[in-house]
Amino acid sequence: MRRLSFGAAIAVTIGLGVSVSLTSPPGLLSFLDGIMGGGIGAEKSGSGIPFGTHGQKLDVWRPARTDGRPLPVLIFWYGGGWVKGSRGAYAFAARAFARQGYLVVVPDYRKVPDVRFPAFLIDGAQAVRWTRDHARDFGGDPGRIAIAGHSAGAYTAAMLALDPEWLRGEGVAAGTIKAAVGLCGPYDFYPFTAKRAIDAMKGARDPQATQPIHFARADAPPMLLVSAGNDADVGAHNANNLTTRLRALGGRVAHIDYPGLSHENVVMAVSVPFRSKAPVLADSVRFLRENMARPASKEPR
């Protein structure tokens, strides 16, 4: 399978006469996704909504048409090595899941060097609390909330799914999360060797407490861990090791590896321009449907 990169999206966008100096590669991909039909069937129903206690904001997306029944909810955190990224640039991912019938919440979070661990987890937990409290306002079912993310965003999703401390700190019951999807996330990366990990986790009193694998437990929500065979940024051992640990404990976990993809390719495959490269969206949606297929219920408090 041919390797793709965000650079490919940039090249195509340049060919279309769009300036690349004012936006990010994911933002360019969202632009391409939009002009290739990615926005058909999805709508943004909330933009720049404040949440939490540190000036965070989030966007809300939903299907353009529904049957009136409450929608399952997905919170999606983007990647960027804990140092970059924005909710608006990942509209392509939000639209993709919204078109599949989900109310999608895309939160921003504080980043290095302004903050270190665990600030981005606190922001993540506050996004879950906001979603629990407000999903119904946008047609969502607060009794069916799943979480997902790519790269550093997958780290947040895994930590919130496995370590109940973060949700508990925001007054959210661990059972609020029904399923989690991690796309090329770091789950077992101590001792720290990459500069971004060193910077992000600097000052943690117990480095092991930064590791999702340290909190693996049998009663965690079902997890789908996705890895990429050509991932030079986050090694596939992260998903392999966490999968092995969860299975040994009796946890519910699925692992999918895409041998021909790179770290960036996995999230790019969610978009319309690159969706034919791998069934990342279809596999993720199938997993979510299998693990959230129950009627709406009163949300846990």
Look at residue 125 and tell me if it is in a domain: yes
Look at residue 296 and tell me if it is in a domain: no
| Residue 112's pLDDT band (cuts 50, 70, 90) | very high
Q: Which residues neighbour 232 within 8 Å (Cβ) at sequence distance 6 or greater?
A: 262, 263
Look at residue 287 and tell me if it is in a domain: yes
- Mean pLDDT to the nearest integer, 196-223: 97
Half-sphere exposure of 25 (CA within 13 A, CB side): 16
Instruction: Give the model confidence (pLDDT) of 194-203 as tens digits.
Output: 999 999 999 9
- We report the CATH number of the domain holding residue 91 as 3.40.50.1820
Instruction: Give the model confidence (pLDDT) of 117-138 as tens digits.
Output: 999 999 999 999 999 999 999 9
Look at residue 252 and tell me if it is in a domain: yes
- Provide the domain limits for residue 258: 6-291
Look at residue 170 and tell me if it is in a domain: yes
- Domain count across the chain: 1
Mean pLDDT of all residues in the chain? Answer: 92
Look at residue 300 and tell me if it is in a domain: no
- Taking the C-alpha atoms of residue 121 and residue 127, their distance in angstroms, rounded to an integer, is 10
Instruction: Give the model confidence (pLDDT) of 26-71 as tens digits.
Output: 999 999 999 999 999 999 999 999 999 999 999 999 999 999 999 9
- In residues, how long is the chain? 301
Burial of 35: CB neighbours in 10 Å, binned 0-12, 13-18, 19+? middle
Q: Which of 17-31, 154-168, 286-300 has the highest mean pLDDT?
A: 154-168
pTM listed for this prediction:
0.92
- Mean pLDDT to the nearest integer, 265-288: 98
HEC string for 258-283? ECCCCHHHHHHCCCCCCHHHCCHHHH
- Taking the C-alpha atoms of residue 192 and residue 9, their distance in angstroms, rounded to an integer, is 31
Look at residue 262 and tell me if it is in a domain: yes
Look at residue 205 and tell me if it is in a domain: yes
